[in-house]
Amino acid sequence: MQREEGSVLMIAMLTITIITLICATSLYVISQDSTATTQTTAWQQALAGAEAAVDHGINALNTGVWTNVTGNNDNWYTVTGSLPTSKPRGGSTANAVPGNDNYNYYFPPSLSLQGEACNSVSMWVTIDNANLPLDTNGNQAYRIRGTGQVGAPGPRRVSNQKMDNDLRKISLIYDRLSGAAVTGGQPMATRRIEVVVVPTAQSMWVRGLLAQHQIQMSGGGWIDSFDSSSGFKSTNGLYDVTKRQSHGDIATNDSVSADLKTFSDLRNTYVYGSIQYSGPAIKNITNVQGTVSTPFATDIPIPADPSWASGTYTTVAAGNPGTLNPGTKSHPALYKMTGNFTVPGGNVLNIPAINPGTDNNYVTLWVKGSFTISGSGYVNQGANVHVTYYLDGDVTVSGSAFLQAGTAYASNNQMIAVGTGNTTPTLTVSGSGNYIGTIWAPIYGITVSGTANLSGAFIGNNINISGGASVHYDEALKNLIEGNSTGNFAFASWFEDNSDPARGIIY
Amino acid sequence: MQIPGVKRHYEAAFTFSELCVSIVVSLLFGAAVFATNSRLFLALKTQKESTAATMVLQQRMESLRAASYSQVADKDYLKNTIFSNPTGSEEPLGSLNEQVAVGVYGDTSVTPIMLLRNPQHQTPQMLSNNDNLTNYNLLQVDLLLQWTSANGRTRTRQLSAVFGKGNIGP
């Protein structure tokens, strides 16, 4: 006879036990995953808080508002000493950027959130100069640290994925920044963003190239600087590659071309200076020796035709006037040409120095038509003669088209391309030789081809330099023509400080 | 009368009872396992939704962070560029209502720009507008997601941030 019938219950119980264990394990894993998901949410909210804190910092620098920031009597404070690792406290109300031995801090009002996860994001931000060097215009860069902190709902339990725990450093028991126990035993997510912001010089002549739109470089040339007013940084006031300086900065308000078809591309041209831009990232900047920062925003002044009263100027016929005698510094000679200006090959326009004194010969020529110097034609400019061109039409010159007697200074040769009545004006510099001067042509498409060396500073709509032409910014221009003013601050670096001092992870 | 050599099986009746109990217990347990399994699947779906919501919010916030201050304050840019298309992560979120509000940080009296995108309005619907937000130095952006979860419950997630003038562009 069989006696096994009674074992059914045992088998059932065993099966139940096994399935129960499977269910319990699944519940445990799901529960852990659920906690990790919630912690991920808190981690994300903390990042938004940290980024918001950084924006508070750059807003303070850009606007200079340090008190009553939101209209709720909330202020920045300044504290003497170095930055704390955890929440700053104490100090007096700040009213300016921090100096060398202090920092500013601010606790913005918390952000309230609806729905799941944490319902409040707190943040704080500090600004100090971190002993960063002044830029070439004497302006200070700053370090901004923004911290966001939110509660991490759920039990004090780590994820079952080790990589989750390594990536998201939730403060379950101890605050990872201060090392102290978390407030109220509530797990916290804290994230910190540290950025370095650099000032953007607002003045027109503080950099080598300034474009409203794209900048294209190719052909093996380079961009650097010299100082015509210093014998240590130039030779007889002229660019000398052996005395090269590294302030050949370039900037663009919008790195896309005006027709939105092409993007700025330096093609690994050597830039002995820094780049500041807005818009899509400039391509191929490997050989930029300075910093690359964004955003950049400056109002490039649009030049206008002169408004000369009748009888104050001399009308000259179209073509080549032959000779233009200058006036004095206080009464420059004014010439207006309603037609096209042309100096063909083998011809010369003379502008001699006829007035006594080293700074007393000034000429302004206003050309309503196109401006062309071709072939071997050139302008023969006397020593220390200051010539200003107002140009309304297209401009075509060669690099050797302007010959200055004595020492050639960029400030003595100013080309102001207005472009009146010309929707897409162009300015072309071709051939070889040295062009020494400034070009202020914010609506012109500037094309430089050939192997010309351009010394001075250049402003255009789109700037395209090819064929090996190089640009040498004359640092003396910013002192000779215009003072220095600061525009917005631009981000030069941005990273998350993911250190965990309590666990010995320090960056 | 008992037949010699043949033992009587007293366990037979007990085994039947035991079988019945086992069946009942097994049925009960099966139901419990089914319920647990359903709950686990629900929890998994909930987590999937949470992760999807996190990714949707992150994508939107990244897009906003890549925009200049004036673009963030521009209803047309928000409507036609950032919120014109669904995100790539919102498929698990049923009947999703995505709302963005751009207002003045610290001043709720100023009318914000509010856009709503949902199954009825795949192109964002303008709930309110303010063309003068660039006059202020600090903007608060609230991204709000509401969707119907797998268990029919309405779920809500929000992510907020502050944008300062001149963040990455004027």
DSSP codes of every residue in B97-159: EEEEEEEETT-TTSPPEEEEEETTEEEEEEEE--TTGGGSSEEEEEEEEEEE-TTS-EEEEEE
Nearest to A27 by CA among B134, B39, B71, B127: B39
Nearest to B102 by CA among B141, B145, B57, B143: B141
Q: Which residues contact A42 (CB under 8 A, 6 or more apart)?
A: A117, A118, A150, A151, A152, A153, A170, A189
pLDDT value for A483: 47
CA pair distance A238, B167, nearest whole angstrom:
40
**Residue A346 region, left (φ>0) first, then alpha (ψ -120 to 50), else beta?**
left
Residue reference for tokens 């042309």: A342
| CB-CB under 8 Å, B33 with A70 | no
pLDDT value for A320: 92
| CB-CB under 8 Å, B107 with A8 | no
CA pair distance B90, B148, nearest whole angstrom:
12
Angle at which helices B11-65 and A8-63 cross, to 10°: 10
| Residue B133 phi, psi (nearest 5) | -70, -25
List the beta bridge partners of residue A414: A388, A438
pLDDT value for A202: 66
Out of A19, A53, A113, closest to residue B158 by CB: A113
Using an 8 Å Cβ cutoff, are B77 and B67 in contact? Answer: yes
Nearest to A88 by CA among A104, A101, A100: A104
A261–B contact, CB cutoff 8 A: no
Q: What's the distance, CA A362 to chain centroid? A: 36
pLDDT value for A482: 47
CA pair distance A207, A200, nearest whole angstrom:
10
- If one counts the domains in chain B, the total is 1
Environment class of residue A43 by beta-carbon count within 10 Å: exposed (0-12), middle (13-18) or buried (19+)? Answer: buried
Out of A5, A57, A71, closest to residue B15 by CB: A5
Nearest to A377 by CA among A404, A349, A347, A342: A347
CA pair distance B139, B163, nearest whole angstrom:
5
Best mutation target, B98, B162, B163, to test chain A (most A CBs within 10 A): B162
pLDDT value for A184: 81
For residue B137, the chain A residue with the least C-alpha distance is: A59
CA pair distance A504, B165, nearest whole angstrom:
37
Out of A3, A44, A111, closest to residue B57 by CB: A44
| CB-CB under 8 Å, A72 with B19 | no
Q: In what order do the strands lie in the sheet with A402-404?
A: A348-351, A378-381, A402-404
Q: For A200-204, A368-372, B72-76, B166-170, which range has the lowest pLDDT when averaged over its residues?
A: B166-170
Q: Within a domain: residue B5? A: no
A491–B contact, CB cutoff 8 A: yes
Helix and strand numbers (H, E) in chain A are 3, 30
Query: Which chain A residues are closer than 8 Å to B57 by Cβ?
Result: 44
Strand boundaries in A31-98, DSSP class E: 77-80, 92-93
Q: B-contacting residues of A 58-77, CB under 8 Å?
A: 58-60, 62-63, 65, 69-72, 74
pLDDT tens for chain A, 507 residues: list them.
455 555 777 887 888 889 889 888 988 888 888 888 888 999 999 999 999 999 999 989 988 899 998 888 889 999 998 888 888 999 999 999 999 889 999 999 999 999 888 889 999 999 999 988 887 777 899 999 999 999 988 888 888 888 888 888 888 888 888 888 888 888 999 999 999 998 877 677 888 999 999 999 998 889 999 999 888 999 988 999 999 999 999 999 888 877 778 889 999 999 999 998 988 889 999 999 988 988 887 878 888 899 999 889 999 999 999 999 999 989 999 999 999 999 988 899 999 999 998 889 999 999 999 999 988 889 999 989 999 999 999 999 876 788 888 888 898 999 999 998 888 899 998 887 788 999 999 999 999 888 888 899 999 999 999 888 899 999 888 765 544 455 678 888 889 988 877 667 776
pLDDT value for A172: 87
Out of A53, A74, A116, closest to residue B156 by CB: A116
CA pair distance A146, A58, nearest whole angstrom:
10
Using an 8 Å Cβ cutoff, are A418 and A435 in contact? Answer: no
Helix, strand, coil shares of chain B, percent, nearest 5, are 40, 30, 30
A113–B contact, CB cutoff 8 A: yes
| Residue B70 phi, psi (nearest 5) | -65, -30
Counted residue by residue, chain B has a size of 170
Which token pair is A375? Answer: 């072939």
Q: Within a domain: residue B138? A: yes
pLDDT value for A43: 92
Q: What is the pLDDT of residues B51-67, one digit of tens each?
A: 999 999 999 999 998 88
pLDDT-derived band at B3 (thresholds 50, 70, 90) equals: low
Query: Taking the model in full, what pTM does it have?
Result: 0.73
* More confident call, A169 vs B49: B49
Question: How many Å is the Cα radius of gyration of chain A?
Answer: 33
> What are the residue ranges spanned by the domains of chain A?
35-200+492-503, 202-486
pLDDT value for B144: 95
Query: Which chain A residues are closer than 8 Å to B3 by Cβ?
Result: none
Average pLDDT over all residues of chain B: 87
Domain containing B160: what range? Answer: 11-164
Strand boundaries in A202-245, DSSP class E: 209-211, 215-217, 222-226
Residue B111 is which amino acid? T
DSSP at A4: G
| CB-CB under 8 Å, A44 with B159 | yes
Strand boundaries in A116-221, DSSP class E: 120-128, 142-151, 188-201, 209-211, 215-217
Q: Which residues contact A225 (CB under 8 A, 6 or more apart)?
A: A208, A244, A245, A246, A247, A248, A272, A273, A472, A473, A474, A475
Q: Within a domain: residue B64? A: yes
Out of A8, A45, A48, closest to residue B18 by CB: A8
| Residue A477 phi, psi (nearest 5) | -60, -35
- Which three-class secondary structure state does DSSP give residue B23? helix
Range B52-63 burial, b when 16+ CB lie within 10 A, else e = bbbbbbbebbee
